Amino acid sequence: MTPGLASGAALIASGTREAQAEFLTALSNDELRALPYLFEFWALPHQVPPEGDWKTWVIMGGRGAGKTRAGAEWVRAQVEGALPEEEGRARRLAIIGETYDQARDVMIFGESGIIACSPPDRTPRWSAGERRLVWPNGAEARVYSAHDFEGLRGPQFDGAWVDELAKWPRAEEAWDMLQFALRLGENPRQVVTTTPRDVPVLKRILGRPSTVSTQAPTEANRANLADSFLKEVRGIYAGTRQGRQELEGVLVEDLEGALWTADVLSGVTIEEPGPLDRVVVAIDPPVTGHAKSDACGIVVAGVRMDGAPRDWSAVVLEDASVRGASPRGWAEAAIAAMARHKAERLVAEVNQGGDLVEQVVRQIDAMVPFRAVRASRGKAARAEPVAALYEQGRVKQLRGLQALEEQMGQMSIRGYEGRGSPDRVDALVWALTDLMIEPAAQWRRPRVRTLG
């Protein structure tokens, strides 16, 4: 890019309309025609290939962050020469999507795909029967499906573009097959564009010294996204583990031995609770009651008790936890949650406060149905049966429980590995134990017969 074009990029991005008009007016007709296809002029930082002697470039981004455009433009940069018929750095590339249709519709013909990004005199020709792109200079790219990775046996390439690797069904095998095929030229390279997921193949690739990566949130590309889309996804997913992955483009890794994995938590959210037979509010009171105390965990949950216990299902309705509240403050918050959800019972752990917990609650409402519970096992041991209910798909959660989900993701078989106390998770465990675990145990308990 010439210095004039480089300074023009800043003007177009942040200058006034007058400054933009002055810059564009100064360009020749040829420069104006070329401008839309000079990706280095428009590219966002995460879309620019890193410098250095790398083998794999991983572009991780949120939905709509511009990953596909970056991949398509990298392919262009590899195959195009200075003139339309001059050779570029690469001659034979592999383009691999999860399926043939997705590769064709997104990577080739999508709005940010290779065809849309190519200038008229360098646009490749698509041969549907051969699943192949051919450029005017003779370079070609063949399209493959991750489902049919055996097709990578035999061919050889000097470059590859891989899209959404983290959601391929047999990603390890498909990736390994591609590595054997990248053997042409002096320095065959590959680009991976993907929304990050905690899968072994992606972590293995990122851990290699020959890998470089760039990362960006959805917001980075907001100029090219609908405001209504951004508003909607922010409102639903901002602050959640799924939001960190799908919007921020962050690789959210599960703890070793995590009781609640990212995959489990990504599938628990529902919009409406439906009819419930019982609702309880559970409290995990803090040891002290001042601004620097742990939060008082307050969780509301309900259960549908259709049929035998194995058929019961629960819904977590609200995380009403409060931080820095006095004992009276958290007691009022818990009783208010009972009123909002018409709960049948207030369940409170009393290991720390003993009878004082009930006394504080009854100062607010002397008639509240109250049950004191004491922890006789460690936090992880108490949480495991509840986590198993989630794995079985028997517990769902309403939206808006981001802080609770963060704590759930930090609970492992060794205990809580986050900061502070898992106050919200403790309250969740007490609520679901009262609703499902203990009633199921009573259901199974055999009746004692008295012999006369």
* pLDDT string in tens for the chain (452-residue length): 444 444 445 446 556 777 767 777 777 777 677 777 778 777 888 899 999 999 999 999 888 889 999 999 999 999 999 888 899 999 999 999 999 999 999 999 999 999 999 999 999 999 999 999 999 999 999 999 999 999 999 899 999 999 999 989 889 999 999 999 999 998 999 999 999 888 889 999 999 999 999 988 888 888 788 888 888 777 767 766 667 777 887 777 767 788 998 888 888 999 899 999 999 999 999 866 555 667 899 999 999 999 888 899 999 999 999 988 899 999 999 999 999 999 999 999 987 656 788 999 999 999 999 999 998 888 999 999 999 999 999 999 998 898 899 899 889 998 898 888 899 999 999 999 999 999 988 875 554 444 44
Q: In what order do the strands lie in the sheet with 159-163?
A: 125-127, 132-134, 140-145, 92-97, 159-163, 189-194, 56-61, 211-216
Cβ neighbours of residue 274 closer than 8 Å, sequence gap 6 or more: 304, 315
Q: What tokens does 427 get? A: 């309250």
Task: For residue 336, give both structure tokens.
Answer: 């208010």
What is the distance of C-alpha 228 from the center of its chain?
A: 20
pLDDT at residue number 290: 52
Measured from the Cβ of residue 110, the count of other Cβ atoms closer than 10 Å reads: 19
d(CA 47, CA 175): 22
Q: Given this model, what pLDDT does residue 353 score?
A: 59
Compute the Cα dihedral for 233, 239, 243, 244 and give only its sign: positive
Rounded distance between C-alpha atoms, residue 449 and residue 254, angstroms: 48
H or E element at residue 31: helix 29-34
- Tell me how far apart the 2 most distant CA atoms of the chain are, in Å: 108
